[in-house]
Structure 1
């Protein structure tokens, strides 16, 4: 019987090997997500991820050489999902306010549908201060997000606000997004109240118009 490395390398060359490797990576990342959300990055061990994933240690190390490498991949995964949300919706006739509202509601919904998403996002964001690769990815995404928000907020204002005022409003929205993740992580039961990030963004747009 071959080792986990040999088996996965062989599977990668055979029919269906690519889908099997994708499934294995997903299984590992799902296990790491649960562990990081429950124990935090620094409290988690590779053995915890091995146990949570249900795979062997050899298989884990075939795909990821360290806990840090897993964390970096989770950041990639998280930001890819956020970028998809940034693209919604782009149908003709959709107002800037509606796009901003849809993005905010999509974010709120994603946090409530996946209870570990908020604590995981906060954990990964904190790692950006210590892991250069994570800081780089978050910084690049942040600037792209700010540019889109400034564009939409400027259009939604219905006036001609200064570039500085629009930029400040965009920064405020990003702070609201991060704050909302913290709010959800600390108060998961408050979802029943019907509070949403979309309503908070609408209040900010009203202020920008005044």
Structure 2
């Protein structure tokens, strides 16, 4: 359901758009908690209805199926991630520190929210059979790898070749994905343990030695 407002939008239009967006967010928040608790395949629309506090008719007004909810949830989560990635310094002097900080922030977020890693892996696995979800993840992956390449190039002082930088960015992206799996498998989430930042520092140091 579209909520875009043109130049002639009235105050009433804006209030209606805000209300519609709030309802959609309410449904997506409910779906997030249900998918994290039951998994996508174990979840039913009735579970999302119950978690949202809305009527079944209201849910189906916005989303026609569980799959449609999952697609929108992935789109919104990745959109938020892209906005977060766009913030922060990217100058050569602090690029390496930013990479390590990003990695440590990511691993800390996984520890503080134990359901985040399993949910991310659950949604990622859906891309194997839901083309729209795969498309969103593929587009995000390219944006993410491009940012990592930019930061690695700055952090390494420009010594490595473009191919080496690309390989390093892909390796770093794989490290992040692997860290989510690592956190999902740990039996005692939340304890103080090693972070991803140290591994990133090792990778950057290796690239600086390339030439």
- The TM-score with structure 1 as length reference comes to 0.85
Aligned residue-pair number: 199
Greater helix proportion:
1
Q: CA separation in 1, counterparts of 2:193 and 2:18?
A: 40
Q: CA separation in 2, counterparts of 1:84 and 1:106?
A: 15
Q: Where does residue 10 of structure 1 map in the other structure?
A: none
Q: CA separation in 2, counterparts of 1:50 and 1:190?
A: 29
Query: Which string of whole-angstrom CA distances, capped at 9 and with x for unpartnered residues, describes residues 57-106 of structure 1?
Result: 10110111111110011111211222123123127675110221232233
Task: For residue 147 of structure 1, report the CA deviation from its aligned partner.
Answer: 1.3
Q: CA separation in 1, counterparts of 2:147 and 2:14?
A: 42
Alignment of 1:31-110 (within 5 A): 31-90=30-89, 95-110=94-109
Q: Where does residue 3 of structure 1 map in the other structure?
A: none
CA contact (8 A) 1:122 1:181 kept: yes
Question: Which runs of at least 4 in structure 1 moved beyond 6 Å after TM superposition?
Answer: none
Unaligned runs of 5+ in 2: 1-11
Alignment of 1:14-29 (within 5 A): 16-29=15-28
CA contact (8 A) 2:121 2:181 kept: yes
